[in-house]
Structure 1
Amino acid sequence: MSKSGLFAHFRSKDAVQLALLEQAVSLAQANVVAPAMEADAGLPRLRALVENWLGWTARAGLRGGCPVAAGIFELDDVAGATRTALVTIEASWRAILAERTLEAIALGELDAQLDVEQFVWELCGIYLSHHASARFLRDPLADRRAVTALDALLDRAALRTPRP
């Protein structure tokens, strides 16, 4: 497709980017969230969600990596519709992670005193580190290191005293 054909269809660069982000969200739902929801509630579901998230783009056929991660760095200091959409997508994703974390707390699998926002922040840090290690550094140990970091985070968050 020619550049003029592309712009005749989408009308603007923002329209192209927004359509691509919409498709990325749909692919993430199908490749990350939906399969994780088949796992048992609580920690199994949370773990499945995070493990599905790691490297999800390769499984979804996105050879360029995660469009959201790329956009976060590309558009961090740029105003506009695409950045606004990315902020909404990232907030929605963090809310999904928080919901699954709260589910594990409610089931007594994680400590009720857990700072959920900090926990989700650290999950996002694991993802971004994995993304950089796997894609940019091509580190063959990226998956293993990410799972080790997840295990350590879950261990720190585990219920310390049994519920009465």
Structure 2
Amino acid sequence: MKSQATRVSLLHHGLNVLSVYGLSGVTLGRLAEAARLSKSGLFAHFRSKEQLELALLDEAARLAHTHVVEPAMEAPAGLPRLRVLVERWLGWASRAGLPGGCPVAAALFELDDREGEVRDHVAALEQEWRALLRSLTASAAALGHLRPETDVDQFVWDLCGIYLSHHASARFLRDPAAETRARHAFDALLRRAGAALPS
């Protein structure tokens, strides 16, 4: 039980480091110091930096599922569920208690020109997320909340562009209007897809 508690603590500290410094900033030494463990104690849980990075990315995905996906799934199917998901998605990391931004969004840029298991894992997480967005968008179209001929792949592509622009504007440019602009962009995307929204 103590071993599991230590691992949970390590993932918590590691996710905070990952959120601020990115994958390149996650070192065994930095994490051991943050968790007040020796490096040998850390090696009892993670045998390599790669293994640690994979575990932290999975923990980030789990946290996003708790704070974004689960609340959305409580909303009615179709457009209401999609809207809640997007509202919870924008800026989710800070609401989840992370001191920096979304670790997966940052990893998309950090690893774009690198190969290896960690990049492949990030790609799989991103594809899984986009599959969820496609499913919710297709459901909204099937229920008549969006035009039935909506190009679901293009809609999701545009939606991910809104999210990444929000991420860069909010985290890097520190634009206080980032969330408002992202919401306006999402509403415009919905209107183009035929959603009936309040004026």
Q: State whether TM-score is above 0.5.
A: yes
Deviation at 1:98, TM superposition (A): 0.4
Deviation at 1:34, TM superposition (A): 0.3
Q: Report the Cα distance in structure 1 between the residues aligned to 2:134 and 2:180, rounded to whole angstroms.
A: 24
Cα distance per residue 1:96-117 (max 9 Å; x no partner): 0000001101101111111111
Q: After the TM superposition, which parts of structure 1 deviate over 2 Å for at least 4 consecutive aligned residues? A: 1-9
SS of the aligned residue for 2:149 comes to coil
Map of 2:98 onto structure 1: 62
Which residue of 63, 71, 74 maps to 2:107?
Answer: 71
What TM-score results when the alignment is normalised by the length of structure 1? 0.93
Q: How many pairs does the alignment contain?
A: 160
Consecutive unaligned residues in structure 2, runs of 5 or more: 1-31
What TM-score results when the alignment is normalised by the length of structure 2? 0.77
Does residue 1:41 correspond to 2:80, yes or no?
Answer: no
Deviation at 1:9, TM superposition (A): 2.8
Which residue of 133, 142, 162 maps to 1:106?
Answer: 142
State the one-letter code of the partner of 1:95: A
Structure number, greater radius of gyration:
2
Consecutive unaligned residues in structure 1, runs of 5 or more: none
Deviation at 1:10, TM superposition (A): 1.0
Does residue 1:4 correspond to 2:62, yes or no?
Answer: no
Does residue 1:140 correspond to 2:176, yes or no?
Answer: yes
- Larger RCO of the pair (alpha carbons < 8 Å, separation 6+): 1
Task: State the percentage of identical aligned residues.
Answer: 62
Which residue of 158, 169, 183 maps to 1:122?
Answer: 158
Q: Report the Cα distance in structure 1 between the residues aligned to 2:183 and 2:195, rounded to whole angstroms.
A: 20
Deviation at 1:4, TM superposition (A): 2.5
Map of 1:25 onto structure 2: 61
> CA RMSD of the aligned region, Å?
1.4
Deviation at 1:12, TM superposition (A): 1.3
Is the 8 Å Cα contact of residues 112 and 159 (structure 1) preserved in structure 2? no
